[in-house]
Every structure is written in structure tokens, then in C-alpha cells.
Amino acid sequence: MKTSLTTAAPLWGRRALLLGALLLAAGCAQQPTVAPSQEPVRLMTSGGFTAAHKLLAPQFTAQTGIAVESAYGSSMGASPTSIPNRLSKGEKADVVILARGALDQLASQGLVRPGTQIDLVRSAVGVAVKKGAPIPDISTEDKLRQVLLGAKSIAYSASASGSYYETQMLKKLGIEDQVLPKSRKIVTERVGTIVARGEAEIGLQQVSELLPIAGISYVGTLPDSVQHYTVFSAGTASSSTNPQGLEQLLKFYTSPAAHKAIRDTGLEPIAAPR
């Protein structure tokens, strides 16, 4: 039986359309998939969490593909690079990590969104001397008192641990009048750097800020009777434009996967997984 041209033409046309659709689909399937670009997370942190952050940020980026742009400064003080000054001058950030008291103060000023604070770690105060110098015994309150009285010069930080040192610790030890005049508050550098250069015989600062410094010997933490822990917390900056990115970052920084890096830098993780 012969097929008429009027019957064959529509059938051929339908086959051609089907073949074209299949070829188009195959071509699309061969095109590489391009992941949508992701806005980096802008993070500001004070010195107490800096060493941990520098270990954690590359791990976070490798896991999520989200870059982290970092800025560093002190939790408090009048230094131009202090985080309160950076934010008050309009510098943008998504996440701010500071001593909890300083972070709460920023929230009260509207620079951090109230209610977004989450505690990450706590940090003890430690002592360091110049590398090669005799290691003092600070194992008890009385021995620490004698070390501070005998030191020719002492350096302490301009942030949370330094505030405790100059307003509470020396009073508690009963040596404020003798020791504070020979103590120097360090504003723009790490205390360990001053000690490494020989500009102070003894340095006191958060353990996590002393450990990374070359040229010093880490002596240990203050005795329990005069120890002071600083809690470092994260909050959402009011200028944040990347809520998804910062949520992922905080989820990673508070996860068990982050605990090793935190402990390796002299901090104690205290935040529950989000």
C-alpha cells in the first residue's frame, strides 16, 4: 500500500521536531554547570579569637565554597583599628567576634543587631617571658605575687585581660601601688611582641594571643584563685548584607568540627552546635 505525500509529510515533520529536541537536550547536558557566585562573609575579630579564626576560615571555605574577608582589631579602646572604631566609622561587616562585654556594648549602640550574640569560646589569661629568659614559677597566688613584685617591667593588653589586670587583679593580690607604675598597657601590638623585643620582662594577655608569637616562652596560666576568663562571642553586624553566609559560618564555627582548632590555639569551646 502506498503512503500519500499528505500523510507522510506531517509524520516526517513530527520526527524532525523530536530529533531536534533530543539534540538540543543533549547539547545542554554537555554544557558545564556553573555554580552561582556567592558573596563572601566579612568578619571582624579581636585578637583573642584571631588564631582560631585563621585556622577555621580556610576549612570553612573548603567545605562551603564561601570566601571569608577578615579584619582585625581590639575589642575596645581608642585605637583607630579597634573594632568599635571601625564599625562606628562605617566599615562594613557581617560577623563580629569580640569579648562578650564589648559585643553587648556594640549591640546597645546599634552597631550589632541585639539578640544575635552567641558565645563561642572562653579564654584564660597567661604569662610569657622573652625566649631564653628564666621561666618564673607562677603556680600559686603567692609565687605570682613575688614574680610581679620582682619584675622590672610588665606589659599587659589594652583589651579584656588588660582591663582585669589593672582594675582587679593587682588589687586582689594587694600589690597595685607597687606594680601598676612599672606596668605598660600595649595598645597597637600584641603583648608577646613587646616581650620578644625585650621591652618588657613579663607579659600578660589571653593565652590564645600569646601562643602564636615567636621569640617568647609561654609560662602558663594564672593561678585559679586570680584567673579571669574572657568569653568571646559572635554577633551579626548591623551593616550585614549576607545573612545566609554568616549563618553557615557560625554553624561551622560552633560545630564539633571546629573544636580541635579552637583548643589548639589555647581556647575552650563553649558554644552548643547550632
Domain ranges of the chain: 41-122+231-269, 125-226
- Identify the pLDDT of residue 191: 96
Instruction: Report angle CA 40, 43, 45 to the nearest 5 degrees.
Output: 160
Q: Which three cell numbers stand for residue 216?
A: 617568647
Tell me the one-letter amino acid at 221.
T
Determine the Cα–Cα distance for residues 168 and 46; give it in Å rounded to an integer: 22
**pTM exceeds 0.95, yes or no:** no
- Identify the pLDDT of residue 215: 98
pLDDT tier, 78 (very low <50, low <70, confident <90, very high otherwise): low
The pLDDT of 100-126, averaged and rounded, is 95
148-175 burial: b if 16+ Cβ within 10 Å, else e? beebeebbbbbbbbbbbbbeebbeebeb
β-pair partners for 68: 41
272: CB partners within 8 A, 6+ apart: 254
Number of Cβ within 10 Å of residue 239's Cβ equals 16
- Identify the pLDDT of residue 47: 84
Would you say residue 273 has pLDDT above 50?
no
The pLDDT of 152-172, averaged and rounded, is 94
The pLDDT of 229-246, averaged and rounded, is 95
- Identify the pLDDT of residue 201: 98
Share of the chain above pLDDT 70, in %: 84
Mean pLDDT of the chain: 87
Would you say residue 183 has pLDDT above 50?
yes
For residues 79, 81, 87 and 88, what is the CA-based torsion angle, rounded to 10 degrees?
30
Third-level CATH fold of 41-122+231-269: D-Maltodextrin-Binding Protein; domain 2 (3.40.190)
Q: Looking at the structure, give the CATH architecture of the domain made up of residues 125-226.
A: 3-Layer(aba) Sandwich (3.40)
Torsions phi, psi for 37 (to 5 deg):
-65, 145
Would you say residue 185 has pLDDT above 90?
yes
Determine the Cα–Cα distance for residues 154 and 212; give it in Å rounded to an integer: 19
Q: Of 233, 94, 64, whose CA–CA distance to 160 is shortest? A: 233
The pLDDT of 110-127, averaged and rounded, is 96
More confident residue, 20 or 263: 263
